[in-house]
């Protein structure tokens, strides 16, 4: 684990150097979905604090078992009726895309940082709002008292070459600039370096850290 963790940190630093960024401007979200609490604890013991989960029923027992200073990021498709619970236990939700989610979010006893998920590639099977709905939805988020608009998030198309992700990441950056946010959640194990070069502030990496999933 420690070698994989250091390798990712080195790659983040090199990607930042290539575009004149400070590596501290990038938050590495360790995508721990399907991995046991023991694997999360191992990475925690190395000093890591940001972890990503995509299913509430898997997240809740981990929250109860693991240290309380972990910053949990919800990164999966979130049903409206589970939004309130996610807000109460997570540091940030990266997959806000509907008014019904916001309605439930307002029932939470605490506010939470949110990223609006944008379907930049306009893939029919993907979640996220389309870019022509962004300006209107941003206003909906701003009006939601328990939502702190943190930035934008996207899941790009499955690609063979990381460079194929660049146009989508660049488009998300331009959308972020258009609404006045610099926080961008984009880039995963295959293409996080391209994401960083295009302005990602949050990258989501799982298998490169924890090893292949069962």
If you ran DSSP here, which 8-state letter would residue 129 be given? Answer: B
**The predicted structure's pLDDT at residue 156:** 85
Q: How many CA atoms lie within 13 A of 60 on its CB side?
A: 7
Q: Is it the case that residue 95 has pLDDT exceeding 90? A: yes
Single pTM value for the model: 0.96
Q: Mean of the pLDDT values across residues 35-55?
A: 97
Q: Is it the case that residue 68 has pLDDT exceeding 80? A: yes
Q: Is it the case that residue 213 has pLDDT exceeding 90? A: no
Q: Mean of the pLDDT values across residues 90-119?
A: 97
**The predicted structure's pLDDT at residue 144:** 97
The answer to whether 176 and 183 are in contact (CB under 8 A) is: yes
The answer to whether 77 and 56 are in contact (CB under 8 A) is: no
Q: Which residues, 6+ apart, have CB-to-CB distance to 133 below 8 Å?
A: none
d(CA 56, CA 74): 8
The answer to whether 169 and 152 are in contact (CB under 8 A) is: no
DSSP E strand boundaries for the chain: 27-31, 50-53, 71-74, 92-96, 112-117, 147-153, 183-185, 202-205
**Would you call 108 helix, strand, or coil by DSSP?**
coil
In the chain, domain spans: 2-210
The second-level CATH assignment, the architecture, of 2-210 is Alpha-Beta Barrel (3.20)
d(CA 166, CA 156): 9
- Model confidence at 30, pLDDT cuts 50, 70, 90, reads very high
In this predicted model, what pLDDT tens digit does every residue of 123-172 receive, in sequence order?
888 899 999 999 999 999 999 999 999 999 999 888 899 999 999 999 99
């Amino acid at each position: 684990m420690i070698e994989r963790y250091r390798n990712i940190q080195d790659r983040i630093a090199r990607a930042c150097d290539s575009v004149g960024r400070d590596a501290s401007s990038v938050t590495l979200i360790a995508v721990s979905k399907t991995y046991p609490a023991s694997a999360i604890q191992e990475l925690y013991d190395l000093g890591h604090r940001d972890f990503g989960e995509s299913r509430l029923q898997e997240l809740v027992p981990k929250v109860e078992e693991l240290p309380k200073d972990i910053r949990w990021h919800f990164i999966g498709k979130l049903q409206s009726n589970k939004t309130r619970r996610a807000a109460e236990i997570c540091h940030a939700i990266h997959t806000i895309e509907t008014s019904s989610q916001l309605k439930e979010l307002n029932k939470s006893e605490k506010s939470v940082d949110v990223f609006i998920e944008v379907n930049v590639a306009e893939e029919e099977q993907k979640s996220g709002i389309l870019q022509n709905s962004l300006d209107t939805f941003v206003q909906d988020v701003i009006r939601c008292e328990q939502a702190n608009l943190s930035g934008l998030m996207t899941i790009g198309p499955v690609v063979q070459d990381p460079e194929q992700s660049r146009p989508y990441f660049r488009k998300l950056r331009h959308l972020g600039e258009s609404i006045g946010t610099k926080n961008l959640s984009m880039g995963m194990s295959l293409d996080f370096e391209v994401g960083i070069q295009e302005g990602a502030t949050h990258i989501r990496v799982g298998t490169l850290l924890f090893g292949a999933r069962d």
